Structure 1
């Protein structure tokens, strides 16, 4: 397990996380709703919204995950926050960063992970929105799914920012209310002092030096002594200050003054703001004797005024920012609103002046909710943030989020902060649509189809009407992707979806279940014959070629049909029935429509039993190899080698050819074990023939695409050669055209490795698929094998003869050998020899035989000479 590095901005990132105050908070529906959307969007069993702290990853919302938090050093999300792009781990067991992670190899068994950083507005990745799954065989995420995950992560960040903004505004409003209260108390205190006794009484002489003061100044405020000093000397005032110049002018003119403010430093160094008032004192004869007056400490008042100015500036900025709607109401009557709120509701300032009721902006279905919010505001002074709708002047409805704060309960004055969330709601609606729609074709996806089918079957009319479920699968769709490209495959799926929609009625149901599988529900039809007619028309529409980027794509489909209520009324059962019928269509040669019946289910059961028998046959070593000779088509008919063909020595049914079990084995994932068996036994038989003095040439074995994707194949071939003391020329690997056109990098690498060892590569059944010269140039092919379908009719069908001749010339021009399969007559052999075909095999030469008869054939041939086939 790779330890994850810390982000470069880890300290600032942690500070940003804590500013949102989200850690260790209880679950909230707004976050839970998002994780549910994630599981539906990407079809996973688990999803979470989590935040990465210093040593843990804590989950705010989760689904399908038992734990609330995980150590940071094992969390996938700790890797995700390092980058600004999504982190997708297709298979954690195959990823060296996570293969030994306890979450992967432990009980949790995480195999798939997709995470998107939750990035704050100031640029810090504080958490992750992620989806997890224990399945290893799920497909990759589409670009649309990744884009939707990014949008959801942005919604989480927006939600956090909104919560933080609302909380900050609430605190600011609370501080303003507290400041207002403090100011009122301060003013009341000052008034009480004035009404009873002043805080500080003072008197100066004719030189304006203090001759008397109460002890309040020095004892209560810690001011320096005043006796014998002027006010300016005591405060350290600047005579050039206009404020002081005006005050000195009043003193010089012997005028009374009131509320002169100045500051002085207390003994502790803090500034104390004073407000003094005084009047001149004269003797009876009019001689000026000085001033007498009072003084108050107004430090608190000045601080409150400063705080109020700052608060008013912030509120003014919010009011004019255009980001948040702000409305002030007195009871139910609007008294003020900013431009953003007027934009939301579509009214003008003249409308506000004329009188607008808050209740007139509220939908009828929100009356009960409004009463609860207003009651909460009256009780606590503020309401929680909630989502609702506002009615506009034009009669529309706008989704908004609202929080309310009481400003003055006595006057029933309150303020609401209103934010337009239309864009967010539209994005959520789009995400919901993505969760129920196939992004490529626009049809319903599997989940939405199952739910809609269930609703229709549960309706009151369903059991009294006849309906049909059609399961449609395109034939050889993978060949289109491999031969022409995935863009062509996508275009074909889109066109088939359009044809299916066009071919049914408006109330019928059409869905893409995944890959090249579609489903159609025909509701309220007359009988099964009507379903057959409709299915045949859809089948014919699918057979029409599709043109894309200069290519003419020829395709076809197979359809399985089940009827309801005849075959059942449960969605899962009907889909299973239709799938069974579809399998019958495909096994019958494709391009057909098959209706479900009970016998088909028995066949499906038999198929499952066959798979179980195959597994036991592998364990009990019931498989054998049959060997068919390949000869040189020159005059001497020299033996070139054998092709090894697998046979099943069934304990009851006798010897079975690959046609009886190979398709089932491949679909069950057992073909890899059969290939391994073929390599081992064929190499051992070649060694046995060499030890008996025979010259068997080479032995050709068939390897499937599954086996060729295994990176250990070259090593196993080398081990088989070494164990049996064989040279690489003794072995030949046969592959089909489908393997060549798959464009799989693992297959190419393994074939290159085998070819580099000296093992020859033969391309089997050439001419029947989509392979081209480009494929032949890219793969290390030594031999082309002409498919027996061209050999069989070459004496009667000139086109087959031309194809065979063309393949021979093409191979020789590329310096490749050619083997013709299925030679059954001397005429075929003679024609192939004249064409220059190098080698041949078929019943004319010898039928496939098990090891003992094949050895006897070798011995007889050696005794009679090579010209005897």
Structure 2
């Protein structure tokens, strides 16, 4: 390829010229295509003008007939426009400001047909205009003639336009193919350029780069194979020659160093050891060589020792005389070599014992000494340690015994005799099984000897017998001593008497694993047994059941009769539970009134259900305590391994969920875990999250249900009721979120918000309508039991609003009276002392309601809606309601009836003397604005 440039500069110029030619060719081709497209567009435009003129002329002709003298363009000017446009299309030229070339020869016949139709149309129009001066109405035949000529001209114009459009589409299609051909031609030329550059420039550069990399790494045998004649080819040749020259030089150097390296290797092999330090001493008693190990031993840098380091600084002054004498004897030829022990001195001044070996040699024509220095301080300490070990062996309180490989006693120490009672002459020569207590079976000793053979040692507790027959526990450790050939030489046993220690540990272990009250396994031992049960069931592919038990009404018994009676009740429950299960099963107390059963080897669920029924029946029977007889029940949740959980945490959590489901169904029953329970728990967690967000985003609002005076029917009070409009859930039922708020503690901040909102609202109503209007606010037991409730802050808020505390009624349930403690009682007393009224809600549904009325000064009793909703003249609820009202009035307590829904119910309660009514018959819960309208209406009516 002689035309190919030989230099990189020319190759670059050729590449630039190629790219420039491609760019110019693309631009020129694109310009031609654009011009052709513009010309076709103008031609189509003019054809459209002709079609428009054919209709316009006919229209104006009819217009002239119908409205003579109108301002219509002269027919001659229209003729001229048509002829000008036709001429431009046929021969090329300008019309309507558009310059076009003659139409394609293929379109000329259509153009000629158009012109023939035009002439016919023109003759028809001229005839029509010739008759026009007579002002006679245009004849029907003339109209048809003009319309036929116009339609024919329109058809020919449309034909021409359609052919022009087809022609334009073909031209555009050809342009598209030309563009694609040009594009692929550009791609091919660029690929060709890339392959030429890659083969002539990039590949040679890569070859040269690889060669340089290999040479930098020490590979001088590599050669490049570049065959081109440009600068890269010349550079490759130079690199090949350089690599060959360097390779030869390295071979020569390697041969010269080989002999020296062999000698040096032998010396270095001796000097580079980690046991002894190698040195050479000159006739001037100075070091002229020191190995790295010697420098490490003495603590000096090696360069310092090899710089004529004086011998006197290596040894202790007390030993230097002996060292100097021995060195001189070798330098003077009196002895050839010597070996002795001495004391060396490190750089930091510390001393250590050494063993010195030295021999005389010829070095550079003079006598010198080469030798080794070995640190023997460790060996000396070992010898001293062995002496001390003999003392320890004789005087330690830990018993030691040495036996042969067959267990025959070879030696004992005094502590062995003190612990076992056997003297040396009574035990040496006998096997140690003389101490055996018989507690351990053959499998125990087989495992011990197996560990000794495979691991070389064994450690553990073992029961043995003293000489006097007394049993004791020893903590024994056996170690194997081996000969140089790996055979067992001796067994060495060390043991101590741990009898009292193990007894104390047993007591501590029981205290840590058993409940002190019921003597049942506690939570820790339950967890250990649960893990063992899971592992055993997984290994044997068995099923076991986990039953979670929670006593019903235990707190009431504990609070009513005291903790001593509660403890006795728990002990009896534990005994009854143990009587319901097999000895292989587990009964444990987790804490409080929570128990759990692990029932092994479950053959069928029916077996477990039978056990649960037995537990429910037995627990529900009366308990005779020290001073009382009580009745309780139990709620149980059942899970099965592995279908309800693969680990202990999941099983216990699912059993707990099932237990709560049993409580929700009415207590004194059991429930088997179902995955839907976990879904419900998840739903509760999500609602709890939304509840927290709702507090933060103020999604809550208060509704108010009027409370009317029975005698007058006027609204004198109202009850504030919380509502939650959640963006996703919509209106959430209070029965769904209030219990969750109580469980999570969110009821405290929610209650704070309710109180502040209610206080502000009652302030507005008292100012606008009646200064005696009162608003009830429900207070949860959780609020009053919480340490976060600040009653003084409530009272300050009331004072700031300038209303009396009696404007608010605090509604509590009988549950509050049951669960209250000293702190909650003090809060209620503080609010009552300030003037806040107290109402007892849901009266008649609680536990021993009447016994709690005397604890506080109750202002109102609210008859529960369950007594009112079915109230009619013949119902038993009439007597109950009358009794509650009479009892309350005798205690100077006013009565509010909840759930009044009919006129009859209102009349019955009014006749019974009920003070106030609340229910849908009067008004359902409404917004503050709606209640304001009701109050306004009542004021206007009065």
Separation (CA, whole Å) in 1 of partners of 2:650 and 2:697: 36
**1:864 deviation in Å?**
4.0
Write out per-residue CA displacement over residues 369-388 of structure 1, whole angstroms, 9 at most, x where no aligned residue.
Answer: 9xxxxxxxxxxxxxxxx999
2:744 corresponds to which residue? 668
* Distance apart, 1:840 and its partner CA: 2.9
The aligned counterpart of 2:735 is 659
Equivalent residue runs for 1:469-488 within 5 Å: 469-488=546-565
CA separation in 1, counterparts of 2:816 and 2:736? 22
CA contact (8 A) 1:689 1:696 kept: no
The correspondence of residues 481-560 of structure 1 with structure 2, limited to 5 A, is 481-549=558-626, 551-560=628-637
Deviation at residue 452 of structure 1 after TM alignment: 0.6
Map 1:138-157 to 2 at 5 A: none
Query: Which residue in 2 is equivalent to 1:756?
Result: 833
Alignment of 1:178-197 (within 5 A): none
For residues 334 and 466 of structure 1, do their structure 2 counterparts lie closer, same or farther at Cα, with a shift above 3 Å needed?
A: closer
In the alignment, the residues of structure 2 paired with residue 749 and residue 654 of structure 1 have an alpha-carbon distance, to the nearest angstrom, of 39
TM-aligned CA distance change 1:557 to 1:794, over 3 Å: farther
Q: Tell me the distance in 1 between the aligned counterparts of 2:814 and 2:825.
A: 13
Structure in which a larger fraction of residues adopt helix: 2
* Cα distance in 1 between the residues matched to 2:496 and 2:867: 74
- Does structure 1 conserve the Cα–Cα contact (< 8 Å) formed by 2:523 and 2:590? yes
Q: Which residue of 1 aligns with 2:759?
A: 683
Distance in structure 2 (CA, Å) of the matches to 1:756 and 1:780: 10
Contact 2:748 2:788 in 1 (8 A): no
Write out aligned runs for 1:6-45 (5 A): none
* Equivalence for 1:641: 717
Judged with a 3 Å threshold, the aligned counterparts in structure 2 of structure 1 residues 454 and 632 are, in CA distance, closer, same or farther, namely same
Alignment partner, residue 397 of structure 1: 471
Counterpart secondary structure, 2:600: strand
1:422 is displaced (CA, Å) by: 6.0
Does the 8 Å CA contact 1:711/1:746 hold for their aligned counterparts? Answer: no
Q: Distance in 1 between matches of 2:934 and 2:697?
A: 28
Aligned residue number for residue 924 of structure 2: 847
Write out aligned runs for 1:233-248 (5 A). none
Give deviations 1:531-552, integer Å, cap 9, x for gaps.
Answer: 3343333333333343435544
1:754-786 per-position Cα deviation (integer Å, ceiling 9, x unaligned) = 111011122222332335555333334332323
Deviations 1:85-108 (A, max 9, x none): xxxxxxxxxxxxxxxxxxxxxxxx
1: CA distance, partners of 2:466 / 2:781: 64
Judge conservation of contact 1:479–1:738 (CA < 8 Å) in 2.
Answer: no
* Deviation for aligned residue 1:514: 2.1
Question: Structure 1 residues 567 and 551 mapped into 2: Cα distance closer, same or farther (>3 Å)?
Answer: same
User: Does structure 2 retain, via aligned residues, the 8 Å contact 1:333–1:355?
Assistant: no
Matching residue of 1:282:
none
**Contact 2:885 2:912 (8 Å CA) reproduced:** yes
Using a 3 Å threshold, how does the CA distance of structure 1 residues 822 and 491 change in structure 2: closer, same or farther? farther
Structure 2 unaligned runs (5+)? 1-396, 400-409, 449-459, 477-494
Q: CA separation in 2, counterparts of 1:482 and 1:860?
A: 51
CA-CA distance at 1:713 after TM superposition = 2.4
8 Å contact kept, 1:389–1:398: yes
Aligned match of 2:532: 455
Give, in whole Å, the separation in 2 of the partners of 1:850 and 1:477: 42
Distance 1:632 1:545 in 2: 47
8 Å contact 2:769–2:935 — kept in the other structure? no
Aligned-partner Cα distance in 2 for 1:486–1:699: 40
- What is the Cα deviation at residue 605 of structure 1? 1.5
- Distance in 2, matches of 1:589 and 1:796, equals 32
| CA-to-aligned-CA distance 1:496-515 (integer Å, 9 cap, x gap) | 33332222222222222222
**Equivalenced residues, count:** 504
Instruction: Give the Å deviation of 1:620.
Output: 0.8
- Give the superposition deviation at 1:461: 6.3
Contact conserved, 2:706 with 2:918, CA < 8 A, in 1?
A: yes
Q: 1:829 to 1:441 in 2, by over 3 A?
A: farther
Q: CA shift at 1:610, angstroms?
A: 0.7
1:563 and 2:640 are equivalent in the alignment: yes
Whole-angstrom CA distance in 1 between matches of 2:587 and 2:656: 16
Per-residue deviation, 1:563: 1.8
| Equivalent of 1:703 in 765, 779, 788 | 779
Matches within 5 A, 1:1-400: 391=465, 395-398=469-472
**Which one of the candidate residues 855, 878, 888 is aligned to 1:778?**
855
CA 1:825–1:438 in structure 2 vs 1: closer, same or farther (change >3 Å)? farther
- The structural deviation recorded for 1:622 is 0.8
Please point out which of 445, 450, 461 is paired with 2:522.
Answer: 445
Distance across 1 between alignment mates of 2:845 and 2:468? 67
- Counterpart of 1:576 in structure 2 is 653
Aligned residues of 1:581 and 1:596 also touching (Cα < 8 A): yes
1:724 correspondence with 2:791: no
> What is the DSSP-based 3-state SS (H/G/I as helix, E as strand, rest coil) of the residue aligned with 1:572?
helix
Task: Give SS of 2:708's match.
Answer: strand
In the alignment, which residue of structure 2 is the partner of 1:615?
692
Specify the structure having the higher radius of gyration (Cα). Answer: 2
Answer whether contact 1:741 1:771 (CA < 8 A) is retained: no
Compare relative contact order (CA 8 Å, sep 6+) and give the higher one, 1 or 2: 1
Summarize the Cα distance change of 1:477–1:629 in structure 2 as closer, same or farther, 3 Å threshold: farther
Q: Secondary structure at the match of 1:535?
A: helix
- TM normalised by structure 2 equals 0.48
Give distance in 1, aligned partners of 2:589 and 2:869: 41
Query: Compared with structure 1, are the counterparts of its residues 664 and 804 closer, same or farther at alpha carbon in structure 2 (3 Å cutoff)?
Result: same
Residue 841 of structure 1 and its aligned partner are, at CA, apart by: 1.8
SS of 1:506's partner is coil
- What's the CA shift string for 1:387-413, capped at 9, x where partnerless? 9976356855245899xxxxxxxxxxx
Match of 2:235 in 1: none
What are the ranges of 5 or more consecutive residues in structure 1 without an aligned counterpart?
Answer: 1-323, 370-385, 403-417
Distance 1:482 1:800 in 2: 32
The structure richer in strand per residue is: 1
Residue 522 of structure 2 contacts residue 588 of structure 2 at CA under 8 Å; is this kept in 1?
yes
